[in-house]
Structure 1
């Protein structure tokens, strides 16, 4: 805007003071602004020389201002931020089968850490810069972020919802989580949606909006505290599974089709998971959706069945190396 104004002032000044034609005035303005010093179209009058002197000084002030703005932008990190955002966008475009976390508050940050610890690619959608500033790089590492309103189609598309396998909406307001669930279900009909709710009445709304599962942190927290009194050892064991205890355990699932080809027709006894890896088969979800807890040793997992395992991080890694197809 300043540059256009400077050009307009020069053209009008030369036309008015020196009676130059528009083309001559434009030429004189350009050689004055660019300081190339070509010969004038016509000798300048005293008033014209005074105008040129003031006009040159005016353009020097504009140049100094533009340099100041550019220097501030560079040294205050604006340029670095722009390159970071471009790199971030390129990274998100390469993601596939990732998880989108909407909202980076306490629940969103915890979900992000758990997902990253499990090796999943995660994209965070958050519009509050204050919330994002609380996420230190030392704790969370480089986070793939879409800065925008998670209730908008554009934000979810920027997060790659068409390519994502799951979405967690952990926004502070239940109404926003309902809207995110509706939008996500419309944009990606097969995506797995997990939603946070504060009120019990919001649970049915979220399920109707398209959420596959609804989590109520306050209700879970109250139950957890009560069970610490009534069943403390059970809760300590559950804390180990959830990663809150000092000796962390890990739950893992593996579809029957993911087993190595030579193992797919074997029974649980023949798989001999515990002796080979130290992990334990604690359940099996049948293709019909039913669960079998502590499945019998002679059971042969069929197509569509999912085996559930429990073990330490090292035991689960041995399980994956020994049993899963590469």
Structure 2
């Protein structure tokens, strides 16, 4: 018996779920209902039975229990019964094949898995939605998961997700459907999500996703991918908070590898591409432990206590201060930026972040 693949921990939208998971069950039920209607109608028309008599003859014929006829049938009635029995044998074979598939080939378990995951995604709060599971969407997904975020994928191609996760044993929550549609984003929990990344191949689709997500969830943070420079203002007008152009970033990266190779290698360490990975982290003043909120950067003594370094401070007004002075006291609404290894950042969060 084939086992349920581990990568199939996906969440289907309701429309897709009904279409694929229940199609054969609905078809079998429809055939059963049709058989009963044809039987009752046929007996009433061919033999002149009353409704109750026709229903009785239909039920004993369908169930093949072998009870006798109400009265002897005409030749036309016997021909009708013969054809009717043959039709019901075909219907029974189809019904058995449906039940066998769902019981023995894992279809029933798949349905229960989808229902369970549907409940899981309904319970998500402050998660992140990634629309598109191509190169950029996949990279964003893995980076988010590495940082402990709960992520829901929105992708039309089930095969794309299957190929990307096959052999990894990774369980992914995904909604298979068109990300530009309201019902698809609602199935992914856009009203409860804190952020959305749209990395679809076409800029026009990303514009629609940003517009739809902004309408459904006005407070959500939206990051959009763009291929053309001319698409950037359109995405911003549609509701995106930030627009990223991977091709432009890639070209700049290659040029800097020639002109400033050591700077790029250091940036690779920060982005997790180098052998010695570094990590950037941020903490707002409100996230600090209450007893630390009135202390200056010198008094926080981050470097000696954790090994991490304070590399910047974002003021509430939006301005940045790089390498802030040691005597600076973060004001309410300010955000401190830190740089360190994973172990150093973990120590930092344990010592400085409020429980």
TM-score when scaled to structure 1?
0.93
Q: Can you list the C-alpha shifts for 1:242-271, whole angstroms capped at 9, x where unaligned?
A: 011111110000011111111111111111
- Counterpart Cα distance in 1 of 2:136 and 2:254: 18
Deviates more, 1:303-312 or 1:176-185: 176-185
Report what 2:108 is aligned to.
79
Report what 2:184 is aligned to.
155
Unaligned stretches of 5+ in structure 1?
A: none
Report what 1:260 is aligned to.
289
TM-score when scaled to structure 2?
0.86
- Counterpart Cα distance in 1 of 2:90 and 2:158: 35
Residues 1:230 and 2:230 aligned together: no
Residues 1:315 and 2:325 aligned together: no
- Counterpart Cα distance in 1 of 2:87 and 2:124: 51
- CA shift at 1:76, angstroms? 4.5
Q: Can you list the C-alpha shifts for 1:265-286, whole angstroms capped at 9, x where unaligned?
A: 1111111111111111100001
1:97 is aligned, of 126, 140, 146, to 126
Are the structure 2 counterparts of residues 161 and 58 from structure 1 closer, same or farther at C-alpha, using a change threshold of 3 Å?
Answer: closer
Are the structure 2 counterparts of residues 16 and 191 from structure 1 closer, same or farther at C-alpha, using a change threshold of 3 Å?
Answer: closer
Contact 1:88 1:145 in 2 (8 A): no
Other structure's SS at 1:104 match: coil
- Counterpart Cα distance in 2 of 1:140 and 1:113: 14
Residues 1:212 and 2:234 aligned together: no
Other structure's SS at 1:320 match: helix
- Counterpart Cα distance in 2 of 1:263 and 1:137: 47
Contact 1:125 1:150 in 2 (8 A): yes
Report what 1:203 is aligned to.
232
- CA shift at 1:25, angstroms? 1.3
Aligned-CA RMSD value:
2.0
Unaligned stretches of 5+ in structure 2?
A: 1-29
- CA shift at 1:39, angstroms? 4.8
Contact 2:102 2:109 in 1 (8 A): no
Contact 1:113 1:140 in 2 (8 A): no
Deviates more, 1:271-280 or 1:10-19: 10-19
- Counterpart Cα distance in 2 of 1:102 and 1:284: 31
Aligned pairs, number: 326
Contact 1:104 1:125 in 2 (8 A): yes
- Counterpart Cα distance in 2 of 1:104 and 1:288: 35
